[in-house]
Amino acid sequence: MAAAAEPTDLVIRVISEGGKYVGTSMGGAEIIVRDVRSGEVLARGRTAGSTGDTARIMTGGPRGTPLADEASAAFRARIDIDEPRLVEVEAFGPLAQPQAAVRVTAQRWIVPGRPVTGDGWVLELPGLVVDLVEPAAHQRGAAGASVRLAANVALMCGCPIEPGGIWDAARYDVRATIRRDGQPADEVRLSYGGRTGYFAGTFPADKAGAYVVTVTAMDSKTGATGVDATSILIP
């Protein structure tokens, strides 16, 4: 006689590298739960909820101390299984920042009727959100003029980068690499620009050509990195 399927609860959370949970404020992370052997999709959705309690997450306690509270962003599902399953979870996000979104996967065994306890099944989303806001995409400039560069930088959870904060602006290396007509032209370090997550600088567009500007941001403490790019035309 075949074993009866048992309802098995899943709680899946996605945490930003060096930060907090990826939830509603960043569009959440898309979650797909699959049976590894058959490829069957057992559940799918997205994480929703708050980024969590800052003190609990960032200061924590002994290893194994729960970091999440009931409001912390999660995807919850109930699957019916009649035997242990090797399951893969795929997380993709943050969905509100598609230029920064990345995909991670993890596998574990799930046993019928026995949920994962504690914080649930937690996946870490590596990287930083970099949103290059100046110059605007493919704008035209004048040869010999200075081009303003500006980028917003945040953790994947949206946590704020600012001087003296938990995520201190001083530990972030933000720079722009400029190529003109496909050849290296300049590199500029961007400095904190006076408001949360905002970094700015300039470079001289002293020759005509098609310029590609790539901004990278790196957290010197965790190694988390983000990238964004745009192009400008100097006739």
> Pairing relation of β-strands 85-93 and 30-35?
antiparallel
Confidence of residue 24 (pLDDT cuts 50, 70, 90): very high
Confidence of residue 42 (pLDDT cuts 50, 70, 90): very high
Residues 104, 72, 19, 129, CA torsion sign: positive
Q: What is the distance between the alpha carbons of residues 226 and 172, in angstroms, rounded to a whole number?
A: 11
Confidence of residue 154 (pLDDT cuts 50, 70, 90): very high
206 pLDDT above the threshold of 90: no
Whole-number average pLDDT of the chain = 94
For the chain, where are the alpha helices, taking DSSP H only?
54-59
So what's the pLDDT on residue 235? Answer: 85
SS3 category, 91 = strand
105: number of CA atoms within 13 Å, CB side? 9
Confidence of residue 1 (pLDDT cuts 50, 70, 90): very low
So what's the pLDDT on residue 82? Answer: 93
Q: Name the pTM for this structure.
A: 0.92
72 pLDDT above the threshold of 70: yes
Number of Cβ within a 10 Å radius of residue 76: 16
